[in-house]
Structure 1
Amino acid sequence: MESELPPKEQLAAQAHEGLPITQSAASAIAAAESDMTGRGPIKGGPAATAQSLHDREDNFLAVAGEVARKPADQVTKEDAAKVQHVEARALGHAPGKDSFSATVQSIADHNARSHQG
């Protein structure tokens, strides 16, 4: 039955590739793990990993949405840093040059230059 549980490394690789872990997937893994153990999910096991990754992705989406709703001319370097931080946590690595946080950083840099002079 253990083969039904995805390895933690597979879940991390999925997040690293930017593929979301849904709440229903995390719940299904927790249910399977509970069935396997007879007493609930394993501390640090696949269910905990899936839930943590889901929560990090959810946090990124919340912060990204908050910044995306701001007028572009009000996006700050602090916004860019916050988005980059939560995106890196969601992915498990620094976001690339084509990432959402890179776009936000570009907008923030433009705004900083515009407000200087």
Structure 2
Amino acid sequence: MESELPPKEQLAAQATAGRPITQPEASAIAHDEFDMTRRGPIKGGPAATAQSLHDRQQNFFEVAGDVARKPSGEVTQEDAKKVRHFEARAVGHAPGKDSLSAEVQSLADHNEQGRHGKE
């Protein structure tokens, strides 16, 4: 029955590839784990991994959404740093040059140059 649970590495690869882990997926894994153990989730097991990855992804989506709702001319270096931090946690590694955080950083750099040019 244990083979029915997704390996933690598969869940991490899914997150790294940018595919969100939904709350229903995390709940289903926890349910299956409970059925298998009859005591609840396994510490550090697939259910805990799925829930942790889901929560990290949701935190990233929330932070990115907050920044996306700002007028583009108001995006700051602090915004870029925050998005980069949460994106790295969501995908499990430093975001690349084609990432959302790289785009936010570029916008923040542009805004900072504009502000310094006006001084």
TM tier, shorter chain?
over 0.9
CA distance in 1, matches of 2:116, 2:3: 58
Shift of 1:20: 0.8
> Could you tell me the TM-score, scaled by structure 2's length?
0.97
Number of aligned residue pairs: 117
2:6: which partner in 1? 6
CA RMSD of aligned residues (A): 0.5
CA distance in 2, matches of 1:3, 1:20: 22
2:77: which partner in 1? 77
Structure 2 unaligned residues grouped into runs of 5+:
none
Shift of 1:96: 1.1
1:97: which partner in 2? 97
Q: Note if 1:51 corresponds to 2:64.
A: no
User: Identity over the aligned pairs, expressed in percent?
Assistant: 74
Shift of 1:98: 1.1
CA distance in 1, matches of 2:86, 2:70: 18
Please identify runs of 4+ aligned residues in structure 1 that moved more than 4 A: none
